[in-house]
A and B are shown apart, each in its own frame.
Chain A
């Protein structure tokens, strides 16, 4: 089965460091979503791309977070500089827009710990 691939699976780093998370959406999917999941806030939408164009990044702290899709096979989420409060699981999901019945398919997530 086709899967959304996220790297790295785990990341531990010190505050102030740059963190880059990568996502390879399922081939043929034209929407990509980035989510952050914490115990306190639950699942939060950070950014959303359709056909590689950013449509909504209102959930993302603009001063330190950035999301891009340099090509159809790669989406990136960067945090610079990182802070302990950024510790969370970051999920990427992809989907197709042709029909509203298409679900998002999630990657396994990147578990980020900022010390």
Chain B
């Protein structure tokens, strides 16, 4: 089974609108971390936001928030007030405990339309 599933290969959003990128994960561990990365067309991988499995509050970082639903094993990324510079690939990732490897999803390509 896939550890991380991103079911949306491509998404479009109007500038200034909010968009949700889906991510579901599979683990039997109690302690794990969930991460989102952004990869613009220039190619670098940029860390955006983190959610711990024991965190009760949804993580937020500026315009990014993580909608964490533990029972459903989902960790969706919400981008508010989309900007043209948000157009990029977005990867969801999970780590099962400190020091362990990361599992990445296949990514979602987001295009922001002016």
List the interface of chain A (C-beta within 8 A of B). Answer: 31, 33, 42-43, 45, 48, 50, 55-56, 89, 91, 93, 97-106, 108-109, 111
Contact = CB atoms under 8 A, between A and B. Distances in A.
Interface of B: 31-33, 35, 37, 43-47, 50, 52, 91, 93, 95, 97-99, 101-102, 104, 106-107
Nearest to B55: A101
Contact of A97 (B46, B52, B99): B99
Contacts of A89: 43
Contacts of B107: 42-43
Contact of B98 (A45, A97, A104, A111): A97
Contacts of A106: 37, 44-47
Given A101-B33, A105-B47, A106-B44, A43 B101 contact: no
Nearest to A43: B104
A91 B112 CA distance: 26
A56 B104 CA distance: 16
A101 B44 CA distance: 21
A109 B98 contact: no
A97 B95 CA distance: 11
